[in-house]
Structure 1
Amino acid sequence: MEGMGQKRRPLVVMASSSSTAAAAARGGANPLAELSDRFKSMEAGLRAWLAKQPTHVEAAVATAVGVVQGGALGGLMGTLTPDGAAPFPVPQPPPGADSSAMASFKQAQALAGGPLVQARNFAVMTGANAGISCVIRRIRGVEDVQGSMAAAFGSGALFSIVSGMGTPNPVANAITTGVAFAVFQGGFFMIGQKFSQPPSEDIYYSRGRNMLKKLGLQNYENNFKKGLLTDQTLPLLNDSALRDVKIPPGPRLLILDHIQRDPELMRSN
């Protein structure tokens, strides 16, 4: 019996070590990273599915998502600054107030409403913007500043009507609000497009960049720039110059051999 117990002990140890390793492997994973990856894959799958659907289906889904997002944002803003808890609540208009005073009151009431009011206003605004943007993108086949401004105009006009900011001239106020939304949206779109554009390639390193890409050594492009090894210096490169910019021996040999075999690089000046 004792011999049998001694034989079983290694099995218990092996099982314990393997389970510990599996637990460590599970514990080592980042749950936030896994959740982010799953969300990104689900989003990519949804976009791929929507791209195959008719325009009205994609527009309906985009509008619904925008309504949910806007409603949540508006409800949160209304909860943080509700009318009842505001230090300076919106006063009631005096009896017999003129049209301009009533319009100002309606605007203040729309922007300082409670959670339900803010949720409704933002849901209409973001939902309309998402739906109109989707339809315009499907029809025109491109997402540009004109389409963005058109969607912003529609969402601003609907926001003005739903929130009651248009009293006593709802049509004129809806147009004015829509134009204001379109101008702001167009400005933000152009600013974002400008900053999202990739930096222009440096023309002084174009030949060297292409050479490194062909050799699979594009990671050393910054080494060339730090050492000012422009295209004009390519015919003059030697092992010492490449070593000075901290390029390892193997890549140095590949670069020098490629330059000697390429007549275009040898003729560059």
Structure 2
Amino acid sequence: MGESKQGVMVMEIPTKAGGIMGQGEQNPIAVVQAKFKELESVFKGWLAKQSLPVEAAVVTTTSAAQGAAIGAFMGTLTGDSTSLFTPPTEGVNLNPEAMASLKQAQALAGGPLIQARNFAVMTGVNAGISCVMRRLRGKEDVQSSMVAAFGSGAMFSLVTGMGGPNQAANAVTSGLFFALVQGGLFQLGQKFSQPPTEDVNYLKTRSMLGCLGLQNYEKNFKKGLLTDNTLPLLNDSALRDVKIPPGPRLLILDHIERDPELKERRRGSH
């Protein structure tokens, strides 16, 4: 019971955690996420201490299981389309090219079990080879990625029976196709994931504009080739030429005048 205020009894309602209603509670989703990350960190630490065969086997198995789950889900979505690719009745002869196309269609539009198998093969083999390449070469690059993709594509071709009767040639062709696609995706990922390189000619300029809240005018400096070396030489005319408004021009010139280093360099240039 709480204290009485103006004759009205105030009741404190305990929460499940034993606290008082109104106090913040932990988000259960955040708790689960934190526990998952903790377990993932412990698992990765344990895995890094294992021998190469053990690590490769564990990575392959876990990745294959994840791929199988994804494939089974995808198979439930495409299960209805398998009726479109029923095998021909007896007595109907199809040429090898037609049979190959039929097998390929069946492999790509199979039910949950078929798609679970296909995805498990692709993800498991790819992850296992990537693990081995990473341990042997000590890095992850486009070459390792393409080797893993080649193995994944070749195994996928052998398991699904895609292509014509020459399974070896089909495996090589599929492996090369997977490798080229994976290599292109890897290069694109590297290109877009890397932060843009910082132009060393505008470090002081960028810092000055950031202090003044005028970051939007960095492009004006670059367009006019007003690098860090030109800061002590700047005047109103030069800033006007690169289309910087009067207010920002005054702030920039005042900053240069107050900066001891720039002020000294300005004096030395005269």
Same fold (TM over 0.5): yes
Q: Are the aligned partners of 2:231 and 2:262 in contact in 1 as well (CA < 8 Å)?
A: no
What letter is aligned with 2:218? Answer: K
**Structure 1 Cα separation of the partners of residues 44 and 264 of structure 2:** 45
Residue 90 of structure 1 pairs with residue 91 of structure 2: no
SS across alignment from 1:20? coil
- In the TM superposition, residue 112 of structure 1 has moved relative to its aligned partner by 1.6
Q: Percent identity?
A: 51
**1:50 equivalent in alignment to 2:47:** yes
In structure 1, the gaps of 5 or more residues are 238-243, 246-251
Q: What whole-Å deviation, never above 9, does each CA across 1:25-82 have from its counterpart, x for those lacking one?
A: 10xx544444444434433343333223222222122212211121011111110111
Higher helix fraction: Structure 1 or Structure 2?
1
Deviations 1:93-119 (A, max 9, x none): 354433223222221221121110110
Partner of residue 260, structure 2: 260
Name the amino acid aligned to 2:131: C
Q: Secondary structure at the match of 2:36?
A: helix
Deviates more, 1:72-81 or 1:228-237: 228-237
Instruction: Check whether the contact 2:82–2:110 (CA below 8 A) recurs between aligned residues.
Output: no
TM-score, L = length of structure 2: 0.72
How many angstroms apart in 1 are the aligned matches of 2:96 and 2:164? 8
C-alpha change, 1:179 and 1:264, in structure 2 (3 Å) is farther
Instruction: Report the 3-state secondary structure (helix = DSSP H, G, I; strand = E; otherwise coil) of the residue aligned with 1:143.
Output: coil
Match of 2:103 among 106, 109, 113: 106
What residue is the counterpart of 2:132 in the other structure?
135
Give the alignment partner of residue 70 of structure 2, picking from 61, 64, 73: 73
Q: Judge conservation of contact 1:234–1:268 (CA < 8 Å) in 2.
A: no
Structure 2, gaps ≥5 residues long: 235-246, 249-253
Partner of 1:19: 20
Structure 1 residues 81, 226: closer, same or farther in 2, change over 3 A?
A: same
Find the counterpart in structure 2 of residue 117 from structure 1.
Answer: 114
Alpha-carbon distance change, 33 to 8 in structure 1, aligned in 2, over 3 angstroms: closer
What is the CA–CA distance in structure 2 between the aligned matches of 1:233 and 1:31, rounded to whole Å?
A: 56
Q: Give the count of matched residue pairs.
A: 243
Could you tell me the TM-score, scaled by structure 1's length? 0.72
Change (3 A) 1:75 1:193: same
Alpha-carbon distance in 2 for matches of 1:70, 1:236: 62
Partner of 1:249: none
Q: Give me the whole-angstrom Cα distance separating, in 2, the residues matched to 1:221 and 1:38.
A: 43
Q: 1:261 to 1:98 in 2, by over 3 A?
A: closer
The 8 Å contact of residues 103 and 167 in structure 1, kept in 2 or not, is answered as: yes
Contact in 2 for aligned 1:62/1:134 (Cα 8 Å): yes
